[in-house]
Chain A
């Protein structure tokens, strides 16, 4: 019979060094940092992308279409590998041309960039749908008031599309938190990788993977709670849908 001790040795999760709890929590913090950074970067890319797709010229539109098509057709894991190596190499090459020389890009920045580029394509699609859901009359009215295109954007289109965009955007946030796990493959020490290291050196695989699962689940559930509050606020004044 297997010894259940190896699974239930809770002291392995202690926060102080003989236990691995502190390491796991630091990994979780790394994951959250990357998720927040990548999500924000993706949001900026997405706003630009959605505007480009809806209001840009024919060439901008086609280029944006290529960007979103490629990201939506190629696995995140492959994109992350490509961008991780290509991004750091390209930056070093450009810096070399300018004459600054090599820099060591921190895993955090590279991770945020990679997650951001992937999220940017998804956000573009979500925001495009949301902007199209804004009644055309509202935007025409804003234009009739003589607002500049930028003002129309910040005062009318973006606030009005928010209720339509929030369900999609909140799902994307949950996906961003889970996509950070893929950075384990390029060796960034976020939660999944440190869990595997902890499990490998103590042989308590089930315990550590379950503990990490609980951490991820808590992150998801807490996010869910916050999202629900934001959603209620954004949808105020809307007719309740069945």
Chain B
């Protein structure tokens, strides 16, 4: 039980969460107006003195890259969460071989860098698959020759392992009385899981889920290292083509800040819509 808050602290330290958003009232104090003026001056200098003439030429590709980044983010988060639910559940109630397997999976994935996992899948499996004629003739081959399935696989596995740990804490933290009450109503195990246990666990895991999703967004640029053309790869292309060092990176940082901001605001709206009673 002691591990859930730990993950919470770290996730919160590494990713913006809805409670970090500034409140609208009381935001404008005298010193803030001065700071904002200085910031505006800085932005003006950046816009005026640095080179931005490459933007119109690359705008369509940037938009495409952002779409790829978002597609990566949402597909891997959803798939990863679907994997995380059984991973967490098995660690709480499963028979010991499954429990050990799930725990081992989480430990191995959380104990190695995502970049290494990504390269292991892309270069390792990617070099192994062509050696099997059965795989080369299967209908999956056209996809396995591209790079994005490996990116999706690596990001999904990583999200599943981190979120599986969170779900384990969430499943274990649902008050026993609620589950006993459901059992006393004569619910079958499946009904109990579907109506009581899972919704309560997801509810408990939701704040951390927000942070984990932001962290997932922060992990997506890694897929550019295996030639997936996301927004990071587009910016790298700009830097190679034009020999401009800083401007594309600054724009990239701005794009990611906007994406994170939108994501966090969306999660706040979602969290506000979910009714909570008391604690």
Are A75 and B2 closer than 8 Å at their CB atoms?
Answer: no
- 30 contacting pairs across A/B (C-beta < 8 A): A1-B131, A3-B131, A59-B35, A62-B32, A63-B35, A70-B257, A72-B20, A74-B257, A77-B232, A78-B232, A78-B253, A85-B246, A126-B13, A167-B2, A171-B10, A175-B10, A178-B113, A178-B114, A180-B113, A195-B119, A199-B123, A205-B127, A205-B128, A206-B124, A206-B128, A209-B120, A220-B110, A220-B111, A220-B112, A242-B1
Which 7 residue pairs of A and B lie closest in terms of their CB atoms, listed nearest first?
Answer: A2-B131, A181-B113, A220-B111, A125-B13, A209-B120, A171-B10, A206-B124
B contact face: mostly helix, strand, loop, or mixed: helix
| A170 → chain B closest CB, angstroms | 8
Q: Which residues of chain B (246-264) have a CB below 8 Å from chain A?
A: 246, 249-250, 252-253, 256-257, 260-261
**A22 adjacent to chain B (CB < 8 Å):** no
Q: How far is the CB of A201 from chain B (nearest CB, A)?
A: 12
16 further A-B pairs in the complex, CB-CB below 8 A; given A75-B220, A181-B116:
A72-B214, A73-B260, A73-B261, A75-B218, A75-B256, A78-B221, A78-B253, A126-B10, A126-B13, A178-B113, A178-B114, A185-B225, A205-B127, A205-B128, A216-B113, A220-B111
Instruction: Return B115 CB to nearest CB of chain A, in Å.
Output: 5
Q: A192 at the A/B interface (Cβ < 8 Å)?
A: yes
Residues on B with beta carbons closer than 8 Å to the beta carbon of A195: 116, 119
Measured CB to CB, the nearest residue on chain A to B35 is A62
For the complex, is A48 an interface residue (Cβ under 8 Å from B)? no
Q: Could you say which residues of chain B place their CB within 8 Å of the CB of A199?
A: 123-124
Q: Contact string, A170-191, partner B, CB cutoff 8 A, digits 1/0?
A: 0110110011111011000000
Residue A29 is within 8 A (CB to CB) of chain B in the complex: no
CA distance A210 to B20 in the complex (A): 39
Q: Is A217 an interface residue (CB 8 A)?
A: yes
Residues of A within 8 A of B260 (CB): 73-74
Query: What number of residue pairs across chains A and B have CB atoms under 8 A from each other?
Result: 157
Q: Is A58 an interface residue (CB 8 A)?
A: yes
* A217 with B112: CB separation less than 8 A: yes
Q: Which residues of A contact B31 (CB under 8 A)?
A: 58-59, 62
Task: For the complex formed, measure the closest distance between the CB of B51 and the CB atoms of chain A, giving whole angstroms.
Answer: 15
A216 with B257: CB separation less than 8 A? no
Is B219 within 8 A of A75, CB to CB? Answer: yes
Is there a chain A Cβ closer than 8 Å to B28's Cβ? no
On B, residues with C-beta under 8 Å from A are 1-2, 5-7, 9-10, 12-16, 20, 29, 31-32, 35, 107-108, 110-117, 119-120, 123-128, 131-132, 214, 217-222, 225, 232, 245-246, 249-250, 252-253, 256-257, 260-261
A44 to chain B, nearest CB (A): 16
Q: Given contacts A62-B32, A78-B221, are A167 and B116 in contact (CB under 8 A)?
A: no
With a cutoff of 8 Å between Cβ atoms, the chain B residues found around residue A107 in the complex are none
Chain A residues whose C-beta falls within 8 Å of the C-beta of B245 in the assembled complex = 85, 89
B116 touches A212 (CB 8 A): yes
Contact partner of A209 among B10, B20, B119, B225, CB < 8 A? B119
* A168 at interface, CB cutoff 8 A: yes
Q: Does A241 contact B (CB under 8 A)?
A: yes
Q: How far is the CA of A62 from the CA of B33 in the complex (A)?
A: 12
Chain B residues near A205 (CB-CB < 8 A): 120, 123-124, 126-128
In the complex, which residues of chain A have a beta carbon less than 8 angstroms from the beta carbon of B2?
167, 241
**Cα(A199)–Cα(B116), bound, Å:** 12
Q: Nearest-CB distance from B46 to chain A (Å)? A: 13
Given A82-B246, A205-B123, are A192 and B116 neighbors across the interface (CB < 8 Å)?
A: yes
Q: Which residues of B are found within 8 Å of A70, using beta-carbon distances?
A: 253, 257
Contact between B257 and A213 (Cβ–Cβ < 8 Å)?
A: no
Least CB distance, A72 to chain B, in whole angstroms: 5
Q: Give the docked Cα–Cα distance between A203 and B31 (Å).
A: 60
Of B13, B107, B127, chain A has the most CB atoms within 10 Å of the CB of B13
A212 and B225 CA atoms in complex are apart in Å by 18
Q: What's the Cα separation between A182 and B218 when bound, in Å?
A: 12
B12 to chain A: which residues have CB within 8 Å?
Answer: 125, 129
Q: Which residues of A contact B32 (CB under 8 A)?
A: 58, 62
**Residue pair A167, B253 in contact (C-beta under 8 Å):** no
| Cβ–Cβ contact B120 & A73, under 8 A | no
Tell me the complex Cα distance, A171–B9, Å. Answer: 9
CA distance A147 to B227 in the complex (A): 59
Q: Are A77 and B221 in contact (CB under 8 A)?
A: yes
**In the complex, how many angstroms separate the beta carbon of A158 from the nearest chain B beta carbon?**
18
Q: Assess A76 versus B218: contact at CB under 8 Å? Given A70-B257, A181-B113, A209-B116.
A: yes
With a cutoff of 8 Å between Cβ atoms, the chain B residues found around residue A95 in the complex are none
B128 touches A2 (CB 8 A): yes
Assess A213 versus B120: contact at CB under 8 Å? Given A85-B246, A181-B113, A192-B115: yes
